[in-house]
Amino acid sequence: MSAALELMPRSDWATATIVTVPAAAPADSLTWARAIFDVRSVPVWAKALYGVREALVRVLGIPPGERSMLAVDHVQDGEAIIDTDDVHLHFVAGVRVEPERVTVTTAVTLKGWRGRVYFVPVRLLHDAITRAMIDAAARRLA
């Protein structure tokens, strides 16, 4: 089981995105996590949506996003962990590398009405954005 799910065993939402990568790709989860959550991995359409997000969160009273929110906190049992607790939600993401595949596991606990409203579009787009970010990281790391 993912360390992300161990750190957040009771979540409101959880998912795992698994992408096959070349056999010659690095086997280090920290390297992969940094590459996946690098701004260069975010698809252009998601960057545009992030701009919309930044405008809308102010209306909801949610602080603007910061790059540090996606920084690796630690590596646990070979899995790079990102653990961010914000006013509207708490999320934990784990990046695990196995031979020829990378798995990003995400668990989220929503906080109040702001978290529930915020998460409606995130829920719909999360998997597509995560898969695109893993694919972009794989192209750079291969």
Between 64 and 36, the higher pLDDT residue: 36
- Of the ranges 9-13, 31-35, 56-60, 120-124, which one carries the lowest mean pLDDT score? 56-60
pLDDT band at residue 94 using 50, 70 and 90 as cut-offs = very high
Q: Give dist(CA 68, CA 82) in Å, integer.
A: 10
Taking only Cα atoms into account, the Rg of the chain, rounded to an integer number of angstroms, comes to 15
Between 53 and 133, the higher pLDDT residue: 133
Q: Which CATH class is domain 3-141?
A: alpha beta
**What pLDDT is attached to residue 51?**
85
Q: Are 123 and 15 in contact (CB under 8 A)?
A: no
pLDDT band at residue 138 using 50, 70 and 90 as cut-offs = very high
Q: How far is CA 20 from CA 17, 34, 60, 89, 130, in A?
A: 10, 18, 38, 30, 13
For the chain, the domains span 3-141
Q: Give dist(CA 36, CA 69) in Å, integer.
A: 14
Give the mean model confidence (pLDDT) for residues 66-94: 94
Q: What is the mean pLDDT of the chain?
A: 92
Between 4 and 142, the higher pLDDT residue: 4
- Please tell me the pTM assigned to this model: 0.92
**What pLDDT is attached to residue 59?**
81
